[in-house]
């Protein structure tokens, strides 16, 4: 490999070919024969910031870098360079704000500012336009083209960047590195097979998402399963809200693209929707039995504490407790506040009536835990089984959701709902090594990498597939993807688009990849400076508001011991005579206050008998 001063090289190769590995090796001086760091200074630019540093202010984050410290650069100089890329006291991103409040686009600018301070001879950029809107992509292109004496190596799936900035192409093919003059267009003339960088099609690769199961009481695909109503949110320490009066809803038929400039509030709104953040005003609601998958913008934060595990081990760890997703139980919206804890410890009065004497006894008790939940037969309300303080066994008593909410148990009820919803699909696919292996392959990661490689050894594209597979394991009804196209090559993008098209649940996507979202989403949420506008065919789901058809059923399952069990197929459609008889039976049960079984309850809701 020969690198010339001032040249900009586009590094090409399919996912898992070693592009990022090569750049890391160069930056760590691990490439044999490469000049020493005192002769040639290399800087590796990454926008994924580790969790332990995200609490730092932008200035402190850059200043804390070991190389910046070694160069004895002052904080004033750090602040000046941050200003040149847009970090100003009166701008969208302020130098003294925490890194955790930055959007993905601003994180990339922060990483570039840090590289500028290090005065690199060779700049190594891994997907520099990830998370960036059109304006900031243009800024990155202009910045790279302005570097006259700096050599750049760029890994990118952005064909526009590779055309507009690159003077040469480095191509990895079967572990060999070849150099070509010219940009991507020139390279494609010589190697027509590389045209895949321009087209969003899946040739050999196919992704397959598990289909969501039915939801009790939901008979139409247009019925809302998640809602934000009048939500306003301000980050701690910020004077001005990031979001203003946001109202949206998502159903099984939703296909939504969320777009807007960097820092407009897209990811913050999504975090409210999935329960990662709580609004200071307004309300977030989710159907108690709906399962939601969320892949964050900075996707690697899902796995950064588990890099010593294989992907297979990680998914089995995450869902080991009866199918409950460990990640969903640590959200801020699941943590009790001091006020809620105080309410929970306040005794409340309950009455007991002696069946023989009719005597009424009043007792004050304190609820210590919720152990289960169910929908009442006579209404569509929920009630929850409680355990009282001082008791080591379940009481067998149920209290209405409205009562428990007043007593500070709202989040605990959500946790119970979540457990029930997540366990609902567990019987179809037990958490065995073989089943997880097959699921990872369905999400694009072959079994060798899925079962035998630690995640620390995987490429960025492979890690994204792990995060996606982990989120999809519990067969979600709604999938929320924040910048899912990052780190995936064009072939994998086509496979992802194909999986989304055939998925029977709702989809919400944040992406700056217009080609990807236009292919999939008839509805658009446009975020501008914290204000939301809905565009496109926002009412299209009304056309989908039909009875949910029987979905393709899984006909067999494999348990942890490798045993294959046949499963029941879809329920038989009742004749008019059978419907009439069942209606009469249910009405009699309701009249006599007798409990309904699950099928009867489902039929009763469908026919409005309750």
Distance between CA atoms of residues 494 and 498, nearest Å:
6
Q: What is the CATH number of the domain that holds 171?
A: 3.40.50.300
Same domain, 141 and 50: yes
Sheet harboring 506-510: ordered strands across? 292-295, 478-482, 506-510, 255-260, 523-528, 531-536
The answer to whether position 429 is within a domain reads no
The answer on 508 and 359 residing in a single domain is no
Strands 531-536 and 523-528 turn out to be antiparallel
**pLDDT tops 70 at residue 578:** yes
Do 398 and 260 reside in the same domain of the chain?
no
pLDDT given for residue 427 in this prediction: 47
Same domain, 36 and 139: yes
Name the least confident of 20-34, 471-485, 544-558: 544-558
pLDDT at 552 over 70: no
**Could you read off the pLDDT of 55-69 as tens digits, one per residue?**
788 888 888 888 888
Q: Supply the pLDDT for residue 560.
A: 43
Q: Give Cα 351 to chain centroid, integer Å.
A: 46
Is the per-residue pLDDT at 27 higher than 70?
A: yes
Q: Give residue-wise pLDDT tens across range 500-520.
A: 888 888 989 887 777 677 778
Whether 445 is in a domain gets the answer no
Which of 505, 534, 550 is a domain's end point? 550
> Taking Cα atoms as reference points, which of 224, 328, 375, 219 lies closest to residue 285?
224
CB 9 within 8 A of CB 169: yes
Mean pLDDT (the chain) is 78
Residue 340 belongs to some domain of the structure: yes
pLDDT reading at 29 higher than 80: yes
If you average pLDDT over residues 354-371, what whole number do you get?
76
203, part of any domain: no
The DSSP result for 156-220, as a single string, is -S-HHHHHHH-SEEEEEETTEEEEEES-HHHHHHH-GGGGGGT----SS----PPPP---TT--B
Sign of the CA dihedral with 303 first, then 306, 307, and 313 last: negative
Q: Which of 164-173, 259-268, 451-460, 601-610 has the highest mean pLDDT?
A: 164-173
Q: Are residues 379 and 235 in the same domain?
A: no
124, 188: one domain: yes
C-beta of residue 8 within 8 angstroms of C-beta of residue 165 = yes
Provide the pLDDT for residue 153: 93
More confident residue, 383 or 9: 9
Residue scoring higher pLDDT (192 or 132): 192
Residues 487 and 340 in one domain: no
Question: Mean pLDDT throughout 603-607?
Answer: 69
Both 168 and 273 in a single domain?
no
Residue 453 three-state SS: coil
> Which residues are within 8 A (CB) of 565 and not within 5 positions of it... i.e. 6 or more apart?
556, 557, 558, 559
57 secondary structure, DSSP code: B
Pick from 271, 282, 299: nearest CA to 244: 282
Helix (H) or strand (E) holding 17: none
Q: 78 and 160, same structural domain?
A: yes
Q: What pLDDT was estimated at residue 166? A: 92
Q: What value does the mean pLDDT take over residues 111-126?
A: 87
pLDDT at 543 over 50: no
pLDDT confidence band for 266 (50 / 70 / 90): confident
The residues, ordered by sequence, that sit 6+ positions from 35 with a Cβ below 8 Å of its Cβ are none
When pLDDT is averaged across residues 145-170 and rounded to a whole number, the result is 88
Instruction: Look at 550 and 383; give whichever has higher pLDDT.
Output: 383
> Is the pLDDT assigned to residue 559 strictly greater than 70?
no
Residue that wins the pLDDT comparison between 461 and 258: 258
Proportion of the chain above pLDDT 70, given as a percent: 77
Query: pLDDT tens-digit profile of 383-418?
Result: 777 777 777 666 667 777 777 777 777 767 776 666
Domain count, the chain: 4
Per-residue pLDDT for 554 more than 50? no
Q: Which range of residues forms the domain containing residue 351?
A: 334-423
User: What pLDDT shows up at residue 602?
Assistant: 64
Identify whether 316 is part of a domain. Answer: no
Residue 563 belongs to a domain:
no
Lowest mean pLDDT among 213-222, 254-263, 390-399, 493-502: 390-399
Q: Are residues 70 and 128 in the same domain?
A: yes
Which CATH number characterizes residue 378's domain?
Answer: 2.40.50
In a domain, 319, yes or no: no
Tokens representing residue 139 in the block: 């800024």
**270 and 141 share a domain?**
no
Q: Is the pLDDT confidence value at 540 over 70?
A: no
- pLDDT: is 134 or 444 the higher one? 444
pLDDT at 167: 93
Determine contact, residues 9/177, Cβ cutoff 8 Å.
Answer: no
**Looking at residue 551, what is its pLDDT?**
41
Residue 480 falls inside a structural domain: yes
Q: What is the pLDDT of residue 151?
A: 92
18 shares its domain with 149: yes
pLDDT at 123 over 60: yes
Asked whether the predicted pLDDT for residue 137 surpasses 90, the reply is no
Tell me the sheet residues that pair with 348: 365
């Amino acid at each position: 490999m020969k690198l010339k001063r001032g040249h900009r090289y586009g590094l090409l190769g399919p996912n898992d070919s070693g592009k990022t590995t090569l750049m890391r090796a160069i930056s760590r001086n691990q490439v044999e024969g490469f000049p020493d760091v005192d002769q040639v200074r290399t800087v590796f630019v990454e926008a994924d910031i580790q969790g332990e540093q995200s609490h730092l202010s932008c200035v402190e984050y850059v200043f804390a870098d070991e190389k910046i410290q070694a160069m004895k650069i002052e904080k004033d100089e750090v602040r000046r360079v941050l200003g040149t890329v847009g970090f100003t006291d009166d701008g969208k991103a302020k130098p003294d704000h925490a890194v955790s409040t930055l959007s993905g686009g601003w994180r990339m600018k922060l990483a570039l500012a840090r590289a500028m301070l290090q005065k690199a001879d060779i700049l190594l950029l891994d997907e520099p336009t990830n998370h960036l809107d059109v304006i900031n992509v243009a800024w990155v292109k202009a910045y790279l083209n302005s570097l006259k004496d700096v050599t750049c190596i760029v890994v990118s799936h952005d064909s526009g960047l590779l055309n507009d900035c690159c003077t040469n192409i480095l191509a990895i093919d079967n572990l060999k590195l070849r150099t070509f003059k010219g940009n991507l267009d020139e390279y494609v003339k010589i190697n027509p097979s590389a045209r895949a960088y321009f087209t969003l099609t899946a040739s050999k690769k196919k992704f397959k998402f598990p289909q969501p199961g039915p939801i009790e009481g939901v008979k139409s695909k247009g019925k809302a399963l998640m809602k934000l109503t009048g939500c306003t949110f301000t980050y701690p320490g910020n004077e001005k809200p990031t979001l203003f009066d946001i109202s949206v809803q998502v159903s099984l038929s939703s296909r939504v693209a969320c777009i807007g400039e960097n820092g407009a509030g897209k990811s913050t709104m999504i975090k409210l929707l999935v329960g990662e953040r709580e609004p200071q005003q307004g309300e977030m609601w989710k159907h108690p039995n709906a399962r939601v998958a969320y892949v964050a913008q900075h996707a690697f934060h899902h796995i950064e504490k588990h890099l010593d595990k294989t992907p297979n081990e990680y998914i089995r760890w995450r869902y080991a407790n009866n199918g409950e997703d460990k990640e969903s139980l640590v959200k801020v919206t699941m943590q009790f506040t001091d006020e809620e804890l105080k309410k929970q410890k306040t005794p409340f009065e309950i009455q007991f009536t002696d069946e023989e004497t009719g005597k009424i006894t009043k007792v004050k008790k304190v609820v210590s835990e919720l152990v289960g939940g169910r929908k009442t037969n006579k209404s569509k309300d929920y009630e929850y089984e409680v355990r009282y303080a001082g008791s080591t066994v379940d009481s067998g008593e149920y209290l209405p959701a409205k009562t428990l909410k007043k007593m500070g148990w709202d989040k605990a009820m959500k946790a119970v709902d979540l457990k029930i919803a997540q366990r609902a699909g567990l019987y179809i696919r037990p958490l065995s090594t073989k089943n997880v292996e097959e699921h990872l392959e369905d999400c694009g990661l072959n079994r060798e990498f899925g079962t035998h490689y630690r995640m620390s050894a995987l490429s960025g594209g492979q890690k994204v597939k792990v995060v996606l597979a982990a989120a999809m394991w519990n067969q979600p009804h709604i999938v929320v993807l924040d910048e899912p196209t990052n780190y995936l090559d064009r072939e994998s993008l086509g496979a992802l688009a194909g999986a989304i098209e055939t998925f029977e649940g709702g989809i919400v996507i944040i992406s700056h990849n217009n080609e990807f979202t236009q292919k999939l989403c008839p509805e658009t949420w446009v975020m501008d400076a914290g204000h939301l506008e809905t565009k496109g065919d926002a009412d299209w789901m009304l056309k989908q508001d039909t009875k949910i058809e029987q979905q393709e059923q899984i006909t067999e399952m494999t348990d942890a011991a490798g045993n294959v069990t046949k499963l029941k197929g879809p329920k038989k459609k009742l004749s008019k005579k059978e419907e009439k008889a069942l209606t009469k039976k249910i009405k009699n049960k309701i009249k006599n206050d007798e409990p309904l079984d699950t099928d009867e309850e489902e039929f009763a809701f469908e026919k409005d008998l309750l």
